[in-house]
């Protein structure tokens, strides 16, 4: 298993690790610990570099397989590097932008859930925008304006974002944690919850900013109907 260092501190940008396994084509390495986020829950991969034996390799993509975090490299490694120590560094500008947009979706989702009972049916986070699909059958311009205004009013309150682990028993007493329609998080002894204190809490495995004041101003960039019930809202941050 790769230790996921971003769960210790989402603001860490550099780390040291050892190579556990190298792919057959030597274009990917699995590490014992990593800061690289593997795609999930609409949050895309991190990119960055690994410095191995004095050589800097670009990590173009990270992915997860059987508990290991693999790092796809821009060129093949030489042979004989299994067990080798290395230094990793994230493309921090990219990761931080993704973190801001992920937390922004939670704010918007929290507002839409409290006001309209909206559940999530999909979402995707980018570095410069994010979109979320919600059950908002009668979404109209007034509701969109309300969601944007209320989201910014919440951001102005500068609430902390608090990730924590809950047991299945605790989770059973908090039905609001299940925010994604027809999808439960992977069942394990402890499940990860991200709480925006004062607004919202939900199952989430992603990385978030520590305080929502880091979001700045949320702007609804557009909406789109994805069916009778599903409506897509795209947002950006200023
Ligand atoms: Zn999330």
Distance 104 CA to ligand 1 centre (A): 9
Distance 142 CA to ligand 1 centre (A): 26
Q: With contact defined as beta carbons under 8 Å apart, do 90 and 79 qualify?
A: no
Distance 50 CA to ligand 1 centre (A): 27
Q: With contact defined as beta carbons under 8 Å apart, do 186 and 151 qualify?
A: no
Distance 206 CA to ligand 1 centre (A): 5
Distance 43 CA to ligand 1 centre (A): 8
pLDDT per position in the chain (238 positions), as tens? 999 999 999 999 999 999 999 999 999 999 999 999 999 999 999 999 999 999 999 999 999 999 999 999 999 999 999 999 999 999 999 999 999 999 999 999 999 999 999 999 999 999 999 999 999 999 999 999 999 999 999 999 999 999 999 998 898 898 888 888 766 767 778 899 999 998 999 999 999 999 999 999 999 999 999 999 999 999 999 9
pLDDT score, position 107:
97
- Say how far apart CA 57 and CA 48 lie, in whole Å: 9
Q: What are phi and psi of 147, to 5 degrees?
A: -60, -45
Q: With contact defined as beta carbons under 8 Å apart, do 184 and 213 qualify?
A: no
Distance 29 CA to ligand 1 centre (A): 27
pLDDT score, position 78:
95
Distance 25 CA to ligand 1 centre (A): 34
Pick the closest to residue 236 from 149, 129, 150 (CA basis).
Answer: 129
Q: Is the dihedral of CA 135, 138, 144, 146 positive or negative?
A: negative
Distance 12 CA to ligand 1 centre (A): 19
- Say how far apart CA 56 and CA 75 lie, in whole Å: 10
pLDDT score, position 48:
98
Distance 45 CA to ligand 1 centre (A): 14
Distance 24 CA to ligand 1 centre (A): 34
Q: Is the dihedral of CA 136, 142, 148, 149 positive or negative?
A: negative
Distance 27 CA to ligand 1 centre (A): 30
Pick the closest to residue 11 from 129, 86, 92 (CA basis).
Answer: 92
Surrounding residues of ion ligand 1, Cβ less than 5 A: 204, 206
For the chain, domains (ranges, CATH) are 3-90 (2.40.30.130), 95-237 (3.30.980.10)
């Amino acid at each position: 298993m790769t230790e996921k260092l971003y769960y210790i501190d989402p603001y860490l940008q550099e780390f040291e690790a050892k190579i556990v396994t190298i792919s057959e084509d030597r274009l990917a390495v699995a590490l014992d610990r990593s800061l690289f986020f593997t795609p999930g829950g609409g949050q895309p991969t991190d990119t960055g570099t690994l410095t191995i034996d004095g050589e800097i390799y670009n990590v173009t993509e990270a992915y997860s397989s059987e508990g290991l975090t693999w790092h796809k490299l821009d060129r093949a490694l030489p042979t004989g590097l299994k067990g080798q120590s290395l230094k990793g560094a994230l493309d921090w500008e990219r990761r931080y932008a993704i973190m801001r947009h992920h937390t922004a979706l939670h704010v918007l989702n929290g507002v839409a859930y409290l006001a309209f009972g909206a559940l999530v049916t999909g979402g995707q986070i980018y570095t410069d925008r994010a979109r979320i699909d919600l059950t908002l059958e009668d979404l109209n311009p007034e509701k969109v304006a309300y969601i944007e205004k209320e989201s910014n009013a919440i951001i102005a309150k500068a609430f902390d974002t608090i990730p924590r682990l809950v047991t299945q028993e605790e989770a059973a007493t908090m039905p609001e944690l299940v925010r994604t329609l027809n999808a439960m998080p992977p069942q394990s002894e402890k499940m990860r919850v991200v709480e925006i204190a004062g607004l919202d809490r939900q199952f989430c495995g992603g990385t978030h900013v520590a305080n929502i004041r880091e979001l700045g101003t949320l702007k609804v960039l557009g909406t789109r109907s994805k069916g009778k019930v599903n409506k897509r809202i795209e947002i950006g941050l200023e």
